[in-house]
Structure 1
Amino acid sequence: MTLTRRQLLKYGTFASAGATLFGGHSLFSPRAMAATTATGVTYLPPSYKALTYGSNRFVEILKENGGDVLNVEFYDSGQLLKADEQLPALRARSIDFMFHTTSYITRSVPILGITGLPGVVGELYRHPERLAKGSPLMELINEVLAQENLYMLSSGGGILEPEYIWSTEASPIRSLDEVRGKKVRIVSFEATKALEKYDIGATRIPSSETYMALQRGTVDAGVFNISTVIGRSLQEQLHYCYKLPMTGFTVAPFMLRDTWDGLDDDTRAVYQQAADWYDENFISHCNLGIYPDEYWPQIAEAGVEIIEPSEADTTTFNDSSHEVWDHWKGEVGEEVGSRAIALALGEA
């Protein structure tokens, strides 16, 4: 039987897991830590023009500067691994690095929830420097990630414009109260937790299936970043955007910590150059360039009505978000959680 590369990676992941459980008698040899060929992945397709801008250039920099020390194989659009397969594959050493949306993996890696906490994301969005490389918050995140043998090379220099509530003409959401009882597509655990008290029917639907879900009425609304809306042409099915910042995320490059630590100086320098560029350019390119200049005009052209939240709704939502903070602190530890929130809010 001839295995495809995708099958080989999957079987390799299972084999590595088996070796962990039953010893080293695996059919697959462990990957050499100093391999000259690095395999990277992202599940995002090219239609996500803003979100793939950073990863594409990151990989280009690796290839341009790799010389004799680093060759790169990179697979987008889930060609090699789907979104939910990337983190297990990284941990099993089936791949060397991945670009992942932080909101997708906060249940597996809770410290990344700081990038999506309701009531915090607005401040992080307005102050991207708080998540820049070398910032106290980034240092804290990587300190916690190291306990799980993970390393985030860069946040991209902040978080993307927050996710808002977008709804259909048949089920409009123009205020916080109108969220009640709606069927809402949400990926972020943090946003789901924040909206629990509104008796929503939270549904985790892949972005590739969301257009049909909205069209068929399977869901009434979704909590989306504008990249998801444009990337999947959801503006064709949406009629309202209620711009209350619900949650947020970034798309970040990750490696295993021991892989990073084990790189020779020349190879690490190549990755460092790419990560430095990513930190300085990715988020700013999206938030200050593509979004205001291209994406929001497309939303307006599609006839989507933009509703700014009232001061009362903003206050109510932000006050209730403290319950989400407490839940999150229970996952990451009170001391770490309180410190991370203080750093994100500029209070430490």
Structure 2
Amino acid sequence: MYDDGFEKWGIHTVGGVVAPIFDVGLHCKDPIHSLSDLQGKKVRVWSRHLVDTFDALGISAQVIPQNDMYMALQTGVVDCAYYLSTVAKTVSLQEVTEYESYLHPWAAAPWIFGISERTLGRLNDTQRQALEEAGQEIWVTTRELAVDPEREALARAERESLGITILPAFSEEDVNTFVTAAWSTWKTMAESAGEEGVHYYNTVTQALSE
């Protein structure tokens, strides 16, 4: 899909970086580890899609920039933050929340390397091969590093040492309910984007289902 998209702009893709798989959890002031616990609470999220997903579940959510998240939690604007638990320490969530519960794994879309077709056409065969091989080498290496249970375990232990209480993870039933709402919201967004949006939605969801 990236190849198709970039091709429209005259850009040739040459590999990229596979984003690491991080834990995502709810970081809250109160002991919350279920969707029912979140009823009546205000949750910080980072995108409109997430606002609509939580709304479909009857949970209040709002987009708050990362730079304002700490203050929003400290002042009670929100009760919880939906955030990348693995790196929660880097934004000092342990100072404004006390509890954490794992919800699901998360990865960003891959970061793709691209070169304009015009520039690519000026390279000789040796240069082009070197470029392609380097891009693929980075792709393979980062893909192998993306899933790292030891990294996640060490990060979790560090958060506990900072005073965070790790609660039981959200139940499988809650996760399925959340995913169903997320996919439904995404489908609505895709349909509003037209035929191509629906095609991308179907392609990705089918691959995930398999």
**Residue 182 of structure 2 corresponds to residue 182 of structure 1:** no
Give 2:132's aligned residue: 272
1:341 is matched with which residue?
Answer: 205
For the residue of structure 2 that corresponds to 1:307, the secondary structure is coil
Q: What secondary structure, in the 3-state scheme, does the structure 1 residue paired with 2:205 have?
A: helix
Q: Who is 1:10 aligned against?
A: none
Instruction: Report the structure, 1 or 2, having the larger strand content.
Output: 2
Matched, 1:316 2:180: no
Aligned positions, number: 204
1-side partners of 2:75 and 2:157: how far apart? Answer: 26
Distance 2:150 2:114 in 1: 28
Residue in structure 2 matched with residue 167 of structure 1 by the alignment: 28
**What CA RMSD, in Å, does the superposition of the two structures yield over aligned residues?**
3.2
Residues in 1 aligned to 2:11 and 2:47: alpha-carbon distance in whole angstroms: 20
Q: Does 1:288 align with 2:152?
A: no
Structure-2 separation of matches of 1:263 and 1:323: 45
| 2:99 aligned with 1:208 | no
Q: Percent identity?
A: 17
Structure 2 distance, partners of 1:270, 1:219, is 50
The one of the two structures with greater contact order (alpha-carbon pairs below 8 A, sep at least 6) is 2
**Displacement after TM superposition at 1:292 (Å):** 2.7
Tell me, yes or no, if the aligned pair for 2:29 and 2:96 is still in contact at 8 Å.
yes
Q: Within 5 A, what are the aligned runs for 1:113-192?
A: 140-148=1-9, 153-154=14-15, 156-157=17-18, 160-169=21-30, 172-192=31-51
Structure 1: gaps of 5 or more residues: 1-139
* Match among 93, 98, 106 for residue 234 of structure 1: 93
Which of residues 298, 304, 307 in structure 1 aligns to 2:165? 304
Aligned to 1:88: none
CA distance in 1, matches of 2:135, 2:114: 12
Residues 18-72 of structure 1, C-alpha deviation per residue, up to 9 Å, x if partnerless?
Answer: xxxxxxxxxxxxxxxxxxxxxxxxxxxxxxxxxxxxxxxxxxxxxxxxxxxxxxx
How many Å separate the matches in 2 of 1:310 and 1:162?
Answer: 15
TM-score (norm 2): 0.75
